[in-house]
Amino acid sequence: MKFNLDFDVIVVGGGHAGTEAALASARCGAKTLLLTQNIETLGQMSCNPAVGGIGKGHLVKEIDALGGIMAQAIDLAGIQFRTLNASKGPAVRATRAQADRSLYKKAVRSVLENQANLSLFQQTVADLIVEGDKVVGVKTQMGLDFMARAVVLTTGTFLGGKIHIGLENYSGGRAGDPASIALADRLRELPFRIDRLKTGTPPRIDGRTINFDKLAVQHGDDPIPVFSFLGKREQHPKQIPCHITRTNPKTHDIIRAGLDRSPLYSGVIEGIGPRYCPSIEDKIVRFADRDTHQIFVEPEGLDTHEIYPNGISTSLPFDVQYDFVRSMEGFENAEIVRPGYAIEYDFFDPRDLKMSLETKHMNGLFFAGQINGTTGYEEAAAQGLIAGLNAARLVQGQESWCPKRNEAYMGVMIDDLITRGTQEPYRMFTSRAEYRLLLREDNADLRLTEKGRELGLVNDTRWTAFENKREAIANLQDGLKRLWIRAESPEAELAEQFWGKPLLKEASLMELLRRPEVDVQRLLHFYEGDDVISEQVGEQVEIQAKYAGYIVRQQTDIDKTLRYDHLRLPDSLDYNGVPGLSNEVSQKLKAQRPETLGQASRIPGMTPAAISLLLVYLKKKS
């Protein structure tokens, strides 16, 4: 049955990729439908109740700078906030928040329900409607046809999902939700490269059965960090502590004794798991010399007793889970509320995607999130935003946009995925970004909000706040350059009291700020401007002052390196006709059809000589 509504863009899946995709598309003015299996699970966190962390926090701030919701939702749902790497340089500082799961879902759903141009509908999508090489709609499980000019698939771990607990396994998209089998079968008929990955989750514990007195306490930071550039501390709900326990030799013995019934070690699971987020059995085998691992005991919310023991993800049989959990300090009487499990699922080789996240084999079809081989809410949400934006732009006849490697972590991730693919669940780290000093959490808005506004992603409230902040930064910088402290003046004495070093000659406040020991907050005692300087503005001015030399050097490197990086390789380029290119290289280029010279250079096995040959050829042609 053809449903009487036609849409510009249909987004399939209401997880982290799907919700950001639907919002981005609708914000850009495209008539958008979000079709998801179950409206109750919009914005659901399948695994750990937390947002951010090293590398991931950068993505959240970038999503926020482009008008997405993740940061605002976690500000309303975060029950413990911390800045990781706080003592290190600003490039690797990262915000992380523990979430109340239900508050997070509530915040996401409320934004979705109030977004103009966006409709929600609860149905499982079973098929794509295709005309030639173009997707034109989707068919749902109950036979409804929804037509659209672009479709974004964000089905997470659900395609052909198989849940494993010990040697038992069954079909499922995540615990409690059915797998997408019909859609997975249909996609397998299309010319995409498909493989299997796996991920896992720990058993959840009833907090009333944990002896917290035996555990170390971990409090959040004070002052409490804020995620969104528009966020305020007062928006946070009540803050509560986490705790820490550890595995011990007895835990490890129990796990080792259960390995013969582990689906991982008996060959039942074939998909590759996340290397940086291994299961506890994986850790015991791989790091056999260690007799303890730290386990973070994280609350799942304010109104629940459920606890997430971060670090013991497992697919061992339930009886082994039960025993090893009870072997840990404080967990002697622990009752499990939900068993841990692993899930195997289909993912698509992201080298079959364009930078816009549109698939190369089917026009109008976009993929975002775990379906592309990534892991994590933040990675999914960032891709969702880019895919939703570009689906809308395609329908509106506009050129696609994706940030470049030197502009955003989002750009680094998408470039990595589409040029190198992935053999294991891909997660973001600061070490993946070569221009870390420029791509900081603190300047995500300065890097992206103006572009977001141009693309139609940034609303008036965010834009006004951004313009005010930018102006305040410039004003403060000017003011600090104009104000001077003379040696042997009362101000110089105060400065010496603050920072323990005498002021030997006259210096502007800006010069002082460049010194490593000088902090902006106390420096503002000498500032005579009228405005109240916000923490965000002060922090930005301080970072820019202290790291100015490095930042300029990195920018010069970028200018040199990226001179030809963005040079486009026409779709029609005949690689056989490029003089000097080896057969092997031209096969690689033909298979992957990179969109730019930079992408070509990052394909594994590509040589600098081959890139020079391509450059010479392109220059001659133009």
Residues at the interface with ligand FAD (CB under 6 A): 12-18, 35-38, 41, 46-48, 124-125, 154-158, 173-174, 177, 180, 183, 199-201, 277, 313, 343, 369-370, 375-377, 380
Give the residue numbers of the binding site for FAD: 13-18, 125, 180, 370
- Gap between the Cα atoms of 161 and 184, Å rounded: 9
Tracing tokens 């013969």 back to the chain, one arrives at 260
Output 276 or 550, the one with its CB closest to ligand FAD.
Answer: 276
Output 35 or 589, the one with its CB closest to ligand FAD.
Answer: 35
We find the least distance from the C-beta atom of residue 36 to ligand FAD, in angstroms, to be 4
Going through 72-203 in order, the beta strands assigned E by DSSP cover 78-84, 94-99, 118-122, 125-131, 134-140, 145-153, 162-165, 168-171, 194-201
Output 37 or 251, the one with its CB closest to ligand FAD.
Answer: 37
Token pair of 74 as six digits:
């976690």
We find the least distance from the C-beta atom of residue 185 to ligand FAD, in angstroms, to be 11
We find the least distance from the C-beta atom of residue 72 to ligand FAD, in angstroms, to be 17
We find the least distance from the C-beta atom of residue 38 to ligand FAD, in angstroms, to be 6
Query: Would you call 192 helix, strand, or coil by DSSP?
Result: coil
Output 125 or 355, the one with its CB closest to ligand FAD.
Answer: 125
Going through 402-441 in order, the beta strands assigned E by DSSP cover none
Token pair of 312 as six digits:
């013991």
Residues in the chain: 622
- Gap between the Cα atoms of 99 and 520, Å rounded: 31
Token pair of 304 as six digits:
């629940």
- Gap between the Cα atoms of 318 and 337, Å rounded: 12
Is the bond preceding 317 in cis, omega lying within 30 degrees of 0? no
Burial zone of 267 (CB within 10 Å; 0-12 exposed, 13-18 middle, 19+ buried): exposed
Burial zone of 577 (CB within 10 Å; 0-12 exposed, 13-18 middle, 19+ buried): exposed
Output 82 or 453, the one with its CB closest to ligand FAD.
Answer: 82
Output 124 or 419, the one with its CB closest to ligand FAD.
Answer: 124
Is the bond preceding 223 in cis, omega lying within 30 degrees of 0? yes
In contact, 216 and 78? CB cutoff 8 Å: no
We find the least distance from the C-beta atom of residue 549 to ligand FAD, in angstroms, to be 36
Output 278 or 452, the one with its CB closest to ligand FAD.
Answer: 278
Output 97 or 600, the one with its CB closest to ligand FAD.
Answer: 97
Single out the residue of 277, 255, 238 nearest to residue 48, CA to CA. Answer: 277
We find the least distance from the C-beta atom of residue 378 to ligand FAD, in angstroms, to be 8
We find the least distance from the C-beta atom of residue 56 to ligand FAD, in angstroms, to be 8
We find the least distance from the C-beta atom of residue 175 to ligand FAD, in angstroms, to be 7
Q: For the chain, report the end-to-end CA distance as a whole number of angstroms.
A: 51
- Gap between the Cα atoms of 511 and 465, Å rounded: 28
Query: Would you call 426 helix, strand, or coil by DSSP?
Result: strand
We find the least distance from the C-beta atom of residue 595 to ligand FAD, in angstroms, to be 23
- β-pair partners for 52: 96
We find the least distance from the C-beta atom of residue 310 to ligand FAD, in angstroms, to be 9
Give the residue numbers of the binding site: 13-18, 125, 180, 273-287, 370
- β-pair partners for 65: none
In contact, 14 and 34? CB cutoff 8 Å: yes
Output 94 or 380, the one with its CB closest to ligand FAD.
Answer: 380
In contact, 557 and 532? CB cutoff 8 Å: no
Give the residue numbers of the binding site for NAD(+): 273-287
Alpha carbons within 13 A on the beta-carbon side of 272? 12
Output 23 or 524, the one with its CB closest to ligand FAD.
Answer: 23
